[in-house]
Amino acid sequence: KLYASAGVLSIVTQRPVFDGDDKSAFQVKIKGGSFGYITPAVRWWQKLGENTVTSLEGDYMRADGNYPFRLVNGKYVTEERRNNSAITSWHGEGNLYHTFADSSNLQVKGYYYYSKRGLPGPVTLYNPVSDETLWDKNAFVQVKYRKEFSDKWNFQAQAKYNYGWNRDRDLGPQYSDGVYSATHRQNEYYVTASAVYRPVQPLQIALAQDAAVNTLHSTMPECPFPTRYTSLTALNVRYRLNGLTVNGVLLGTYINERVKAGKKPDDLSRLSPGVSVSVQPWRDEQLYFRAMYKSTFRTPTFNDLYYYRLGNRKLRPEKADEYNIGVTWSILPASFMDYLSFTVDGYFNNVTDKIVAFPTTYAWTMANYGKVHVTGVDITLASAFSLSRKVQLTLSGAYTFQKAVDLTDPDSKSYKHQLPYTPRHSGNVSAVIDMPWVDVGYSIVGVGKRYCLSQNIPVNKIDGYAEHTLTLSHEFLFRGYRLDLQGEIINLTDKQYDVIKYYPMPGRSWRVTGTFKF
């Protein structure tokens, strides 16, 4: 699944770590802030034996979310307040980690999440009312086993069951009986196994096999009640010698979908190759040149295809050829500087039938763009300075230029126009000063202008914005206990902006976090 994705965010739960001979550790955290926001959370780490540890954690969150904003109507400006923005949610999970006598290890996780939230809807003149509510439930259980048979053989297997449920209810005269209500339930059964073989030191060969079954049950009219069978097979070969690393992968995708009502979608099968090269010219210099080519193949999800208003049953799979070249360099240019590192990447993606969320007058729906070219540059820079023996300054920044244009139809009014909600320019900068008495952080996130529809014309333009955040924090230590306090002022300049057109974001707000560990 990793190779099948254009980009992956990998999140790994922190494994419990204990101080000295301690067999347990506790953490209590509470966050509070503007607009009725409060989140208490607890965590318990426990050592059950020399080779077994567990963790339990849970949190609760609620917020009113009815923040003020300015509504501009020609020459008239009024102070309004968002409504139907309240949210309540809670989540709990448990983890078990066990190491066997042969050094193989087992991880087990159970997870549950529930939320109820109001959907405030777009801001329209003289109609501030929104009565749509969304309920979500998500639960899963997963197991992972890993074993190293020798220096040459490594094996791991994982299994997961995921349950997703949501209910959408909307009130209004546009519905025949004054109310719309739909419930969706999804199940996923997922197994994966992979083996790594190292015949000689520079060469590594890996084979991975995933299998998944997905089902959807819904109260929507004409729901096809689909069942999808997915097989993903990836062969990976890596060669690493001195400063050269070459990695090649061949991914095979096969999807069969069956329905209880309506027309059955065609089976899908595809081979997707990929190759990457990294070169370190000098072993004592942290300088790397890299290049990559990757073919990806994305099938629409059940949400993309079948959900009310959002779904589009005519969606085609998205295919892309991705090219990337980049440089990474880390140096120590001066004695007062702890490090200086930067990366530069240039990329080009040739995408066919790109799947995007396309805004319409009243709702969003999924759509294909027949042909899209994406050209971009990513730049990052990070550095740290020791201003004194106890004071350190850390600086970081990132900039992205992305030109994503629609090349589907030369006769279309949107031909060669930037895709909706895709800024050409975006980036962020941050500075953190670590001092004995307080740590101070300041960050700015900037996004350039975008367009809410396919045509890049003034009426569709969304202005760019820059959001400033100031953070103060300090850690208190006493008798083996630790208390972390942090305060934040978000959107310090009180800038009003839209991420989505007609959906104003909050102005200046604050948040305080206290974390007690014992």
Nearest to 445 by CA among 398, 489, 384: 398
State phi, psi for 458 to the nearest 5 degrees: -55, -35
Categorize the per-residue pLDDT at 333 as very low, low, confident or very high, splitting at 50, 70 and 90: confident
Secondary structure (3-state) at 150 = coil
Question: Is the predicted pLDDT of residue 62 greater than 60, yes or no?
Answer: yes
55 vs 122, higher pLDDT: 55
Q: What is the pLDDT, as a whole number, of residue 157? A: 98
287 Cβ contact partners less than 8 Å away, ≥ 6 residues apart: 280, 281, 327, 328, 329, 330
How do residues 236-263 score in pLDDT, each as one tens digit? 999 999 999 999 999 999 999 999 988 8
Q: What is the pLDDT, as a whole number, of residue 74? A: 77
**Taking a C-beta distance cutoff of 8 angstroms, is the pair 275, 318 a contact?**
no
Q: How does DSSP assign 246-277, residue by residue? A: EEEEEEEEEEEEE-SSSPPPPPEEEEEEEEEE
How do residues 451-464 score in pLDDT, each as one tens digit? 998 899 999 999 99
Three-state secondary structure along 487-502?
A: EEEECCCCCCCEEECC
Q: What is the pLDDT, as a whole number, of residue 2? A: 84
Q: What is the value of pTM for the model shown?
A: 0.88
How do residues 149-186 score in pLDDT, each as one tens digit? 998 999 999 999 999 999 999 998 888 888 989 999 99
Question: Is the predicted pLDDT of residue 361 greater than 80, yes or no?
Answer: no
Categorize the per-residue pLDDT at 284 as very low, low, confident or very high, splitting at 50, 70 and 90: confident
Question: Is the predicted pLDDT of residue 359 greater than 70, yes or no?
Answer: no
508 Cβ contact partners less than 8 Å away, ≥ 6 residues apart: 489, 490, 491, 492, 493, 494
Please give the Cα distance from 417 to 424 (Å, whole number).
11
**CA dist 333 to 45, 305, 329, 341, Å?**
42, 53, 12, 10
Helix then strand then coil, % of the chain, to nearest 5: 0, 65, 35
Q: What is the CA radius of gyration of the chain?
A: 26
Pairing mode of beta strands 87-99, 498-500: unpaired
Question: Is the predicted pLDDT of residue 363 greater than 70, yes or no?
Answer: no
How do residues 107-122 score in pLDDT, each as one tens digit? 999 999 999 999 988 8
Secondary structure (3-state) at 305 = helix
- The mean pLDDT of the chain is 92
Segment among 68-82, 97-111, 335-349, 436-450 with least mean pLDDT? 68-82
Nearest to 113 by CA among 59, 188, 65, 38: 59
